[in-house]
Amino acid sequence: MNTHDRGTGAAASVVARPILAHLVLPVLGVGLGLLVRWAAAWVASLPFAPFQGLFELLEALPEPGSTIAAAAVGGAGGLVLAFIDHHYALGLAVSADRVVLRRLGTTEEVDRSEVHGVFLELKGKNAGLLEDGRLVLLGPRTEELVRVPCDLNADAVRRAFTEHGWPWLEADPHRGGFKRWVDGLPELSAKANALLKARAEALEADGEEDAEELRRELLAAGVVVRDEKKRQYWRPIPGDPDTGA
């Protein structure tokens, strides 16, 4: 899909979840609600079952009201899940001079002049869709300007950047420089160690936004960090006085 960049008027390549993908959850919710309604009589007749009282109440409601109510509740639950899914999904608009990233209700723009490399960190792959993957934009000092969860079609993401002349990389050229972090590493400054410790706590608490804020603070302290199953791996930014790299 192409739109026009508001700054230059040039066509921008947009990569986002298809609208139909967000409609699946409400439809499944309606189906689940109807299934629960149709199973209500059977569950209510059992000697014992979890939430049996709710099934008995549903079975006692007159028709067609009980079926409509079950479908409506299921559909509403699906809509809530679809909204949450949309909130966390990444959307990209890539043009020759910038990329716009939309996620978690925020918009971030990165100029092409700041970016010296773009790659997808693939942790799994299924029919071209990323599973727990990351989109990474590297800066001039090898710092990661952007590291964001990405479950978009991998080929579509690659095509959007390469068609506009961005420096696409097939893998992280600095992956071999990462080391696992443990508290109190002598190679790191006290500030960097404290930030990594706070970030470890944020990861344990599933505090994604806090972890991202601390990731950016670590960049300012000369440290690039990535995660694997809540374990942190770090590397120094070359030439940074805080890390001595």
Structural tokens at position 234 = 């770090």
Instruction: Report the candidate in 117, 129, 138 with the shortest Cα–Cα distance to residue 157.
Output: 129
What domains, with CATH codes, occur in the chain? 1-14+90-172 (2.30.29.30), 19-88 (no CATH), 174-239 (no CATH)
CA distances 213 to 4, 177, 210, Å, are 31, 23, 5
Backbone angles phi, psi at 121, to 5 degrees: -90, 105
d(CA 189, CA 184): 9
CA distances 126 to 6, 122, 130, 154, 191, Å, are 34, 11, 7, 10, 40
SS (H, E, C) the chain: CEEECCCCCCEEEEECCCHHHHHHHHHHHHHHHHHHHHHHHHHHHCCCCCCHHHHHHHHHCCCCHHHHHHHHHHHHHHHHHHHHHHHHCCEEEECCCEEEEEECCEEEEEEHHHCCEEEEECCCEECCEECCEEEEEECCCCCEEEEEEECCEHHHHHHHHHCCCCCECCCCCCHHHCEECCCCCCCCCHHHHHHHHHHHHHHHCCCHHHHHHHHHHHHHCCEEEEEECCEEEEEECCCCCCCCC
Query: Tens-digit pLDDT profile for the chain (245 aa)?
Result: 555 555 545 688 999 887 766 678 788 888 887 887 777 776 667 777 666 666 666 677 777 877 888 888 878 888 887 777 767 789 999 999 999 999 878 899 999 999 999 999 976 554 444 456 899 999 999 999 999 999 899 999 999 999 999 999 999 999 999 999 999 999 999 999 999 999 999 999 988 899 999 999 999 999 999 998 889 999 999 876 555 55
- The per-residue pLDDT for 243 is 58
d(CA 90, CA 157): 11
d(CA 136, CA 168): 10
